[in-house]
Chain A
């Protein structure tokens, strides 16, 4: 089981029984108060967020929400957010900063919703504003990629001081199907795409994209929720303790510099500037 192929990991990451954001909130937090709506247009069920206590401490928790059955899935659009979801997330994060609460996000989405209304209401702008806002927040931000980290729709909740990833979660520039379709005009070659995309937690840890890989129970997170919760809880406690020692400005700086360094290993600028 420990030697799963990237394509097998994609299947586990998408497993319908895998614990999602709502399950993590139920298990790891107390006193959860859900906050709804973006105050601009509407409420998007595909992003779940609010205030809760983590080991007694108030935090803001936000994540992508997928359903476990068809009815739930229709309500939260299979975990594919619209601009309202990202703007709700921004609203919650600004509040967290105002009240000095750490932010914990759970990432699990096939991607932002590619729909007509989403485009009309500025899907690109909503994601871009999430990235810009998160990059400068002066409170601790920890993201856990729990299932599918699909494209910009995932990244919009993952500009964090620490990005952690469950062992069999995946995180990629596009779904393997979309990747194969763009590069080879054949979405049927998705399994092959999984092999070249480097989307596994282990590859991403090596590449410096994520800072920690969290062990899953034998067989995957869906086989033993309690064990998965214990692992994620322990990791969050540890990371939060470290980040809480830092000043707000230092947190923003550390986060900025971590993302600034990604893909920087290119030839340096010439010394003389005009």
Chain B
């Protein structure tokens, strides 16, 4: 456990150094979207957005939080929450242990208390490095507890989603997390809480069909794939090719599903503005 903690701390320190431009390297990285190479340093300065084409590469939960929160304001919530194996699914515990070793994450979600330009909020961030950010009982429970904590403390709730959907290995228990998280969000919102939902690439399935689609404000990163069914399943079903840009954030904006698309560098400013705009209401 101590080792995991120090891994996380080290990573946060590295990210901070990156942000402040103190790390230098001659390494280059190739963009998985446009195929062009750029110096890794430029990727770092650009918060892992391709300097050539603007592709927003998936990033880890701690990295995202390190880039959004006021320095020193990060306090992890429910960090001891660990996954369960309710179906006794073959090889699942070994898979979970391997992923914890590899990623330093206990499961696919991180919850935290933090500040943006001085304004306190509760954050939950899904991490696609851990089984595609899929939602099993631990992710459902963490999102639920984050909503409950925000309700108790009367704080805004900000959730960044990135998920392949329900986690197959936890079967029906994963499905029930959709009902549980949607119910917790509903309760939080009826109590007057502000919930800002932020879609990142990719978010599909049971996460899209539960808490991620219930935001008072709905935002997404540029180019993020957002949907209920995945594009391959749809193409197999309807047996025709999907239009250009189908299920991308820009497409959803055009179809009325989002309030705004937010480039990665603008999250702090946009979230801060929204929190400030909700401070004058009679229920705040």
Contact = CB atoms under 8 A, between A and B. Distances in A.
Contacts of B18: none
Contacts of A197: 87, 171-172
A219 interface: no
B55 interface: no
Contact of B214 (A116, A128, A151, A270): A128
Instruction: Choose among A128, A136, A270 the residue with the greatest number of B CB atoms under 10 Å from its CB.
Output: A128
Contacts, number: 194
A199 B170 CA distance: 12
Interface stretch (B5-13, B24-32, B76-84, B272-280): B76-84
Interface stretch (A8-16, A119-127, A221-229): A119-127
A99 B187 CA distance: 22
Contact of A198 (B136, B171, B182, B233): B171
Given A136-B186, A198-B171, A207-B172, A123 B229 contact: yes
A90 interface: no
Contacts of B228: 112, 114, 118-119, 123-124, 127, 152
B284 interface: no
Contact of B86 (A207, A259, A274): A207
Nearest to B75: A274
A204 interface: yes
Given A115-B237, A155-B179, A264-B141, A136 B187 contact: yes
Interface string B245-256: 011000000011
Contacts of A259: 176, 179-180, 183
Interface residues of A, number: 55
Given A124-B228, A196-B90, A135 B141 contact: no
Q: Is the interface of B mostly helix, strand, loop or mixed?
A: helix
A121 B228 CA distance: 11
B282 interface: no
Given A116-B246, A132-B182, A135-B183, A173 B138 contact: no
Best-surrounded residue of A113, A151, A172 (most CB of chain B within 10 A): A151
Contacts of A127: 178, 209-210, 228
Interface string A123-141: 1110111011111100000
A155 B178 contact: yes
B234 A199 contact: no
Contact of A174 (B89, B137, B168): B168
B208 interface: yes
B172 A152 contact: no
A157 B269 CA distance: 39
B182 A119 contact: no
Given A266-B82, A267-B82, A114 B209 contact: no
B173 A262 contact: yes
B156 interface: no
B93 to A, nearest CB: 14
Nearest to A210: B172
Given A159-B183, A209-B176, A264-B141, A129 B171 contact: no
A159 B209 contact: no
A124 B113 CA distance: 28
A262 B176 contact: yes
16 contacts: A114-B229, A116-B234, A118-B228, A119-B246, A119-B247, A123-B229, A125-B213, A135-B186, A136-B183, A152-B166, A155-B175, A155-B176, A197-B171, A198-B87, A207-B86, A262-B177
Given A112-B209, A207-B173, A260-B183, 9 more contacts: A113-B237, A119-B247, A127-B210, A151-B175, A155-B176, A182-B168, A198-B87, A259-B179, A262-B180
